[in-house]
Structure 1
Amino acid sequence: MNKPCILICTVGTSLFQPNLEALKKDLADSRIKPEYRPLAEACQRGDWPGVAQALHALPADDRVCGAEINSIASLVEKEYIPADCGLFFLHSSTDKGRDIAAILKDYYLNKGHALVETVEVEDLQDGDPKRFRTKGLRNLARNVCRIVRERSAAACAINATGGYKAQIAVAVLLGQALGIPVFYKHELFSEIIAFPPLPVAFDFEVWMRASGMLYDLERTSDPVPASTYAEEWQETYESLVERVPIDGQDYLELSPVGQIFHETFRERFRTDRSQVLPPRRCKSIRPGWKKMPAGPGSTRKWKSS
């Protein structure tokens, strides 16, 4: 079986806190080990290219290097990915996230990876839990799906070691939906573990019925009144949305699961629409029936006249 040549990595802040913060304290207390001095001094100066260079001098499995470097080293050692694979680092919408992503980019370019890209995930931050849940995780799913769509599922894998713990659940679900492996390394694990794709799938028929609502919710950043979809509502839609009470009324936003569900089938509809839709001109489906608009957003394609 071919190895994935593209690794999509979530990015956390363990490199800064506690790792580099502890080294800076040791430097101030004159207790720093010689091999860590260049790293601590570069961090103290805020010299991120210097930090990347100092990290390059350390073994990649040294815990000081942080979750992302440790886990990628384990993936290479276990031969899950090529040593020079392409890397996408999906980082939080925070200063620390941007700084660590910049360090990782310099580090892996210096190691000879031809493709290393950083992607800021809008609203993925820890200052506003509601925004993190309703928008940040959705944007994470959207960005992962975009990369997989551009590079192909067969070429991709996800490393969900870095970042917020909620990202692990989203990453595993993405792996199942897109048919790609997901990897994770806890700091106490001696090696990385894989969550291989399982023989389960989302229901395409549910997406066809709910697609109009899903397109509506994805296009807007504001909650939509739940009453808009009251007539066509089904219990299976509940996991696809977040209910938001406003002035005593229920409003809906797309949930992270809904975003994954929608991204998965929207792409399938693009590629398989000729097998999904009835023929353009077909007058003999049923006597006395006429064709209604079909495709995403339409729950009924034929209506009795």
Structure 2
Amino acid sequence: MSDTLISTVGASLLSNLRTNETLKGLYEKNKSEEIVNYFLNLKEDPENYRGFGAEINSIISILKKGYLTNRKNLYFLVSDTLDGKKIGNILKNFFEKSEYSFEKVEVKVSYKLDDSNPYDFKMYGLKNLIKNMASIIRQHYGSVIINATGGYKAQIAFALALGQGLKVPVYYRFERFPEVIELEPLPLHLDPNLYFICRDLFEELNDDIKLFLEYESIYKSLSKEARIFFDIISIDNEKYISISPMGQIYIESIKNEFFYLSDKIALKKRENNLLLLSSESEGHSKELINKYNLKKVFEEFEYIEKIRVLRFSLSEKSSKAKVKIRGNNLIIILQTKQGIIHLEAETTARDEKELEIIKIKLEEYLSNKF
């Protein structure tokens, strides 16, 4: 049963607004409610009248075809531009007020998804779009579908690829088609062994680009099929390496498999008391450990046996708790108002798959704590 819809967003509605002097003026003054009221009062069919724009046309078509059982959640994925955010707000208001309203409508901006900067668009924007979509799919897995009608051609292509990787139905409406068509997931299985081969490099390059020279030997040791997960680019005559958009789709697809495999694998629980070690050289970390009762926080997570403080910093910045795999252990980075603390944790994992599952569970656990 499907009750959640993800929709990519493009410039179709914006083009239509600019051809109507009244709507153009309202748009320039950021009068989104007045624009929505204009559309709500139109007598035209929102499924077929192009003045509504591709996003509204295609979503109404999806609803009329019965591809969505309940109108519970609607997510609009917009570009990181002023126009993208304004159009997203208009669409949000429309699907909150019209007869096709959803219980919850949310606009998500894909950071640096801006075609005015081709470098940022490729290096960060497309991957952030993929991450946003994958996060929503994991949150509503089994009840989500994708509308990939709107947006840049690259958005549409990667939305389709991600849908294929995560086994999520994707819908698309060609400009001259009277209704949407379903692009069903292919019965393909991604090889998780490539993930373990590339994992160290994936971890190092997460959300970043690095000098290629530092990772050249690792990259060249990979098979040709694994190298497609990485981009090599030149900036000011210097080579850099980053995860490619296709690599990000592969990562999210494999993470999704582990996420749902976690319910089927019985992880080993800690048998003894948690051991938390803090060195004398990191004295400030003890204050933070006590203030946030970190020993109790990690005791409640049953798959960690021992934790060591690696370092403490007042100057570093981090937007959220992060967990990385290093060898057989986890590296945990926690941000607080008093600073950032780096920890290394020994887990109960008996193999690589279990370590990956424990990492996913710990990320989810910490996101609710910090």
Kept after mapping to 1: 8 A contact 2:61/2:179 = yes
The 5 Å alignment of 1:108-257 reads 108-111=95-98, 112-152=101-141, 154-225=142-213, 226-230=215-219, 232-246=221-235, 250-257=239-246
- Check 1:227–1:181 CA distance in 2 against 1; reply closer, same or farther (3 A cut): same
Which residue of 2 is the match for residue 8 of structure 1? 6
Q: Indicate the percent of aligned positions where both proteins have the same amino acid.
A: 31
Q: What's the counterpart of residue 23 of structure 1?
A: 20
Aligned-partner SS, 2:20: helix
What CA deviation, in whole Å up to 9, does each residue of 1:130-155 have, x standing for no partner?
21112111111000000011111x11
Task: Name the CA distance, whole Å, in 1 between partners of 2:264 and 2:39.
Answer: 52
Q: Secondary structure at the match of 1:135?
A: helix
How many Å separate the matches in 1 of 2:94 and 2:28?
18
Q: TM-score, normalised by structure 1?
A: 0.80
TM-score (norm 2): 0.66
Q: 1:86 to 1:273 in 2, by over 3 A?
A: closer
Which whole-Å CA distance do the structure 2 matches of 1:245 and 1:273 have between them?
40
- The one of the two structures with greater contact order (alpha-carbon pairs below 8 A, sep at least 6) is 1
Counterpart Cα distance in 1 of 2:8 and 2:219: 37
1:221 Cα offset (Å) = 4.4
Aligned length: 269
- What residue in structure 2 maps to residue 60 of structure 1? 46
| Aligned equivalent of 2:258 | 269
Offset at 1:230? 4.3
What residue ranges of structure 1 are gaps of 5+ in the alignment? 28-38, 281-291, 299-305
Kept in 2, the 8 Å contact 1:123–1:132? The answer is yes
The structure-2 alpha-carbon separation of the partners of 1:155 and 1:279, relative to structure 1 and needing over 3 Å to count, comes to closer
1:101 aligns with 2:88: yes
2:340 aligned residue: none
Q: Tell me, which stretches of 5 or more residues in structure 2 are unaligned?
A: 270-326, 329-350, 356-370
Between 169-178 and 228-237, report the one with greater CA deviation.
228-237
